[in-house]
Amino acid sequence: MAAEVSSKYAVQMHGITKRFGSFYALTDVNLDVERGTIHSILGENGAGKSTLMNVLYGLYQADEGDIYINGKKVNIKNPTAAIENGIGMVHQHFMLVENFTVTQNIVLGSEPTRGPIGLNMRKARQNVLDIVKKYGLDVEPDKLIRDISVGMQQRVEILKALYRGAEILILDEPTAVLTEQEIDELLGIMKNLVNDGKTIIIITHKLKEIQASSDTCTIIRRGKYIGTVPVKGVSEDDLATMMVGRAVQLVVDKPPASPGDVVLDIQNLYVKNEQGIDAVKDLNLQVRAGEIVGIAGIDGNGQQELMEAVNNLKKCKGRILLCGEEIQNKNPKYGIDHGMATIPADRHKDGLVLGFSVYENTIMEKYRTEEFSPGGRINRKKMRSFAEELIKAYDVRPEDCGPKLAGGLSGGNQQKIIIGREIAQEPKLLIAIQPTRGLDVGAIENVHKMLIRERDKGVAVLLISFELDEVMNVSDRIAVIYDGHIQQIFPHGTVDNRTLGRVMAGGSLEEAELEQIRKAGDANTAAGAEAEPETSAGPAAEEPAEAEAEEPVASAAEEPTEPEPETSTVPAADGGVELQNTEQMKETLAQMQKSLAELQKQIENMQKALAGMQ
């Protein structure tokens, strides 16, 4: 698969394997980058893109594999060695000194000197200006970093690399923090650099940008090399397929949803991110009782800010209604008191107090009720019995973990405590953010079952996840978030990974595909016994403008349509789920169970062999 070692390639990485403990971040990955081209590395979150580039830049050492620069084998043991080999890297998070000027930042560490100790800043400034002129990078050399925009900070980072003589430039998710306009400018700069003979490698998961910028694309999936393709002649579709792959789907056995009243109603929401840019823009979404709405999207498209606004951790513009009552811009307690429970994405940061016992962690919200602290004094007996019940019900292991610190449990068991605790709140709205991150297959299945059980109890569930399979399997409706707003909503079973992946990356659907999805949706409607009157609004969505006009009629079930022409609306999910698919699903399930049993046998054999060895 790997190309022959030749000097026409600026970078060649062959058979790279990188382990962290027992976890394989990269397995036998190849990368061949021709000189003077823009090469993108595509993959989902955690696929190993950044790890591969960190190996190239000398931040990690590969366990196996070779690196060749311009056809010569090199040993890159640290970033200094990488710079000596003409490799420069711009990290996703900039590494700049905030209260230094642009020039000072660029020359930092390799300042031109005058005499043994003197600095020649005038020369430094001139050097910087020369490079700026050469590549059309627009920066002001005397401004302080903290006073310039994010886009300009990125240019400073690029300049830093060029100043050190980089011939090969690695850009890690360069567009994640940029505005549309800044992205265009960046693409222009990249073209200039390539015309001058530089080689650029960009890490991204945005398909559109690959199409706009790159010559070649290497796809990595779960640490494995999938392939390298010329971007010309490959559609976004094909790229999406290669990126997402047809991984084994954990099909969750779930009865059709029977949605009730609207529980969560987000209207025209705007939320700013840390940089002060609107990360959520005019977002509209409804979640009804008894349904799971999954938000699919690539990390950094506003999920974090959406969650923070709903949880009252951040101020926002617009309205968030919980059972008809406005809850935005209050405090977290307000939402919790009004029936909201959240399983946070970062269980160590937001979910648990690791220095507290498991007992104490189970009453993070309940501690303030009269039941658990009558008269302000914690009822430890009550706390213990409640926690023990929870430990038993959710099979937290070890069984006697109660008095021990929560920090000592494994990730899966920590997650069980959080999920159990939040469900014990008996919420009207359950928000689950990345609820299965870092969990093993069995635990994932458990979490999904719990979510569905809550749904069947009539809880409105909002699932935010970067795992496409998870969103596809668990959700009754899939809302695709892109660039801070809901791009499209698909009912369960009307869309495949490929299409979804494309919409997630900002792609648009063609009319024919929309028609197909609508049909699938209609079929569901017909199949569903408890079809709701609102579903008749389906056909109205054919033309966005029309849908908007009819909004009052279609209101409850419909998402308010976006004015952009590329967006369109698909009928909302309702009681019906593909009956015709159930047979098929059962078959697949049986097959999977068979293969699982086989696998288990194999594992047993291996364990025996292992025991023999010891």
Chain contacts with another protein (rule: CB under 8 A): 311, 313, 331-337, 342, 344, 346, 349-356, 360, 363-365, 367-368, 373, 376-378, 380, 612-613
Q: How far is the CB of 471 from another protein (least distance, A)?
A: 23
Q: How far is the CB of 344 from another protein (least distance, A)?
A: 6
Paired tokens of 609: 């062999």
Paired tokens of 428: 């009207």
Nearer to another protein among residue 77 and residue 333 (C-beta): 333
Q: How far is the CB of 347 from another protein (least distance, A)?
A: 9
d(CA 428, CA 322): 9
Paired tokens of 234: 């490959």
CB proximity list for 475: less than 8 A, separation 6 or greater: 292, 293, 294, 463, 492
Q: How far is the CB of 389 from another protein (least distance, A)?
A: 20
3-state secondary structure of 132: helix
Nearer to another protein among residue 378 and residue 556 (C-beta): 378
Q: How far is the CB of 360 from another protein (least distance, A)?
A: 7
Nearer to another protein among residue 136 and residue 374 (C-beta): 374
Nearer to another protein among residue 374 and residue 563 (C-beta): 374
Pairing status of strand 262-272 against strand 278-288 = antiparallel
Q: How far is the CB of 367 from another protein (least distance, A)?
A: 5
Nearer to another protein among residue 364 and residue 520 (C-beta): 364
Q: How far is the CB of 324 from another protein (least distance, A)?
A: 21
R_g over Cα of the chain? 27
Nearer to another protein among residue 270 and residue 334 (C-beta): 334
CB proximity list for 73: less than 8 A, separation 6 or greater: 5, 66, 67
Amino acid at 348: H
Nearer to another protein among residue 512 and residue 611 (C-beta): 611
Q: Are 79 and 247 in contact (CB under 8 A)?
A: no
Q: How far is the CB of 407 from another protein (least distance, A)?
A: 10
Nearer to another protein among residue 301 and residue 311 (C-beta): 311
Q: Are 321 and 267 in contact (CB under 8 A)?
A: yes
Nearer to another protein among residue 360 and residue 532 (C-beta): 360
* Owner of token pair 């190993």: 48
Q: Are 526 and 518 in contact (CB under 8 A)?
A: no
DSSP 562: P
Nearer to another protein among residue 365 and residue 476 (C-beta): 365
What are the b/e assignments for 380-390, b being 16+ CB within 10 Å?
A: eebbeebbbeb
Residue among 144, 474, 108, 485 nearest 297 (CA)? 485
Residue among 500, 475, 98, 557 nearest 294 (CA)? 475
Q: Which long-range contacts (C-beta less than 8 Å, at least 24 apart) are formed by 399-403?
A: 401/358, 402/357, 402/358, 402/359, 403/357, 403/358, 403/359
Q: How far is the CB of 537 from another protein (least distance, A)?
A: 37
Nearer to another protein among residue 24 and residue 367 (C-beta): 367
Q: How far is the CB of 609 from another protein (least distance, A)?
A: 9
CB proximity list for 610: less than 8 A, separation 6 or greater: none
Paired tokens of 449: 């079952």
Paired tokens of 31: 């990368």
Q: Distance of CA 519 to CAs 397, 480, 512, 571, Å? A: 47, 19, 11, 10
Amino acid at 478: I
Nearer to another protein among residue 400 and residue 530 (C-beta): 400
Nearer to another protein among residue 156 and residue 363 (C-beta): 363
Paired tokens of 5: 């070692």
d(CA 459, CA 261): 10
Q: How far is the CB of 401 from another protein (least distance, A)?
A: 14
Q: How far is the CB of 41 from another protein (least distance, A)?
A: 32
DSSP 75: -
Q: How far is the CB of 606 from another protein (least distance, A)?
A: 13
CB proximity list for 178: less than 8 A, separation 6 or greater: 150, 151, 154, 186
Q: Distance of CA 457 to CAs 4, 48, 366, Å? A: 60, 39, 21
Residue among 198, 201, 195, 205 nearest 214 (CA)? 201
Nearer to another protein among residue 292 and residue 352 (C-beta): 352
DSSP 175: T
Nearer to another protein among residue 350 and residue 542 (C-beta): 350
